[in-house]
A = this chain, B = another copy of it.
Amino acid sequence: MSQRGPYAKGVAKREEILGRALEVVARQGYRGASVQVIAETVGLSQAGLLHYFGSKEELFTAILRKRDELDHLTSAPPAGPRAARDAFVQVVARNAEVPGLVELFSRLAVEAVDPEHPAHGYFAERGEVLRGMIVGALAQHSHPTALPPKMIARVVQAVVDGLQLQWLLDPSVDMAATTDAFLNLLAPED
């Protein structure tokens, strides 16, 4: 047994549910989906699902955390500017395969603007981690940057988030290509 102590089984099941929920939202899309709908597709009743996640917001936040984990946003980035950048664009490209997740992310991001919202902390921390990674990648350059690295990081994050909105509105937008071109402009030497 790899896991011991209380909750070990509950945690495992929770993870399993999370994985399925993630798949469902990614594939079948998210249109302001209710707990009810997700519960059905996951094979539980609404109450059964809320048994593992105390509330709707916690469920959705957990789904996004799981996604970050799968996207390696929580682990160390690849070494070298080129590799880090490729991985970054890769994540953007894969987002275009999961509109439901992108929509969930965007929707929750706006709602979490309220400091009282349960996902407020998640988005604040995630932003910091992401921008920290970008700053780290920039630091590997030999040339100094024209703008303060933290400012560049904010701009890069904004580009990705903003392009998601444009893409959700019009799926013909090529998020990955646009991001790549933009990064090329920022750091042509890579």
Contact = CB atoms under 8 A, between A and B. Distances in A.
Interface secondary structure of A, over-half rule: helix
A109 interface: yes
Interface string A150-186: 0100110111111101101110010000100110111
A1 interface: no
User: How many interface residues does chain A have, given as a range?
Assistant: 35 or more
Given A154-B178, A159-B155, A168 B113 contact: yes
Copies of this chain? 2
Interface string A15-50: 000000000000000011000000000000000000
Most chain B CB atoms below 10 A, which of A109, A113, A158, A162: A158
A94 interface: no
22 contacts: A106-B110, A110-B165, A110-B168, A112-B169, A113-B165, A113-B168, A123-B169, A124-B170, A127-B166, A127-B169, A146-B185, A147-B181, A147-B182, A147-B185, A154-B173, A155-B159, A155-B163, A158-B160, A158-B163, A158-B165, A159-B162, A161-B162
